Chains A and B, each alone.
Chain A
């Protein structure tokens, strides 16, 4: 009985071969998804799912500060050891504060020692080692990491692939602020007036 059943299974599984042909056949007549790079460039809509080198995500209110809480999960998760995070240390109390603490302790009060802030002071990332596996992104509890959409990254020296992500985030935040300001400036009515008068002046002269 089982022999017959096995035989029948084999025969029916032939159908999957036809399904395979259908899949490749469909792809064959479908449009190309490749771009002819130097002649065409990638638009942001085509970058869905693209994995560029990692970058940090800024806090919504302070875009230059990362959401990262320096928990080291990404460092542990990374199989290639490409992330280096240095935790921020507790701020050193000044002489006066130390004195005050000492006195308080002597009086038998509970002293609140300054705690380390939950943020990194250094966040280095070596893209030359990264396999873009995504372990770090998945494991980050603060959702502070993501892939950049840097398609055209080129360097001439391997050392340039060691990136300081905090600096990168700062630069990005600055750039976006500058952009926003430029937009605002362009949109504000005063400027439009100024522009038009300028233009008029230009045509008159």
Chain B
């Protein structure tokens, strides 16, 4: 029997661990989102199912799984069902290069950051297919909105990430983390505050989070690209969105907030604490700001984020050259 390469085994374990992590996080984030929404509106949020409503997301999941999978007539069946899978599957890959802890990295690679950015783009394709495959004009319109938004916000996101890459001279996330210190003032966010802000805003746009959640807009715009999806078809998009949120927050934590390094004891808990803090801020923003109009959304991007990101990049390049 030929030897099974160690790398492959490690990769498999990492993928399984990531799948478990993503699933679990979906539940935790659904719960958090609803609790925060409740508290902001001075309600208790989920309360009845389990202590403090802890089992509510599980009940939601069971309900979602139990629902009938419905294919609209006249739709392209293959594309229609490929879309949710295509939106969810690449997400698992996105977690591979993220350094959760000093040793807990799925696969360390020199072009890790590039891999994340490249595969994150697949989501746009998935949304495009979903809208097209649905044979529904609201689906198509929603998909068009989503694609315009994703493509637009990807640029400032890239530019702000690039500024960090210029500074550290590496696209390897582990190297970037190691380049920073444990204490907050040694983190990149203090050298590149503008890049951090731009990154965070673009990340909101990229993950379709409020106030930039026009692609989905469940109730107000007759929903978006997922109008026709029922049960787990919708659930996959949902899960992918939450997983994407974790990815962008993880990347932010690694690039700007010192990753797993922290005061006193380094370790994965620092990383998770930072990621969850950022996620909480994202949820907080969602329940604070009203949704922007679509032209406002594009204006924010093209008139503000893009020029600022470019400026920031030029200044960084200039300073690094000196």
Interface residues of A (CB under 8 A from B): 10, 17, 20-21, 23-25, 27-34, 36
Contact = CB atoms under 8 A, between A and B. Distances in A.
Interface stretch (B33-41, B153-161, B164-172): B33-41
B147 to A, nearest CB: 27
B42 A24 contact: no
Contacts, number: 35
A24 B284 contact: yes
A30 B40 CA distance: 9
Interface of B: 36, 39-44, 47, 284-285, 287-289, 304
B288 A32 contact: no
21 contacts: A20-B288, A21-B284, A23-B288, A24-B40, A24-B287, A24-B288, A25-B284, A27-B40, A27-B42, A28-B36, A28-B39, A28-B284, A29-B39, A31-B42, A32-B39, A32-B43, A34-B42, A34-B43, A34-B44, A36-B44, A36-B47
Q: Is the interface of B mostly helix, strand, loop or mixed?
A: loop
A3 to B, nearest CB: 12
Given A17-B289, A20-B289, A36-B47, A30 B42 contact: yes
Nearest to B39: A28
Given A21-B284, A24-B287, 6 more contacts: A20-B288, A23-B288, A24-B40, A24-B284, A32-B42, A33-B43
Nearest to B303: A10
Most chain A CB inside 10 Å of its own CB: which residue of B39, B43, B287: B39
Contacts of B304: 10
A90 to B, nearest CB: 55
B289 A28 contact: no
B1 to A, nearest CB: 58
B288 to A, nearest CB: 4
Contacts of A28: 36, 39-40, 284
8 A-B pairs closest in CB distance: A24-B288, A34-B43, A33-B42, A28-B39, A24-B40, A20-B288, A28-B40, A27-B40
Contacts of A32: 39, 42-44
B65 to A, nearest CB: 29
A10 B300 CA distance: 11
Contact of A21 (B39, B44, B47, B288): B288
Contact of B41 (A20, A21, A27, A36): A27
Nearest to B35: A28
A27 B47 CA distance: 18
B31 to A, nearest CB: 16
Contacts of B47: 36
A28 B285 CA distance: 12
A37 to B, nearest CB: 11
Contacts of B40: 24, 27-28
Contacts of B285: 21
Contacts of A17: 289
Contacts of B42: 27, 30-34
A129 B131 CA distance: 40
Nearest to B290: A20
B276 to A, nearest CB: 16
Contacts of B287: 24
Nearest to B304: A10
Nearest to B43: A34
Nearest to A31: B42
Contacts of A23: 288
Contacts of A21: 284-285, 288
A32 B36 CA distance: 12
Contacts of A31: 42
A70 to B, nearest CB: 43
A100 B260 CA distance: 106
Contacts of A34: 42-44
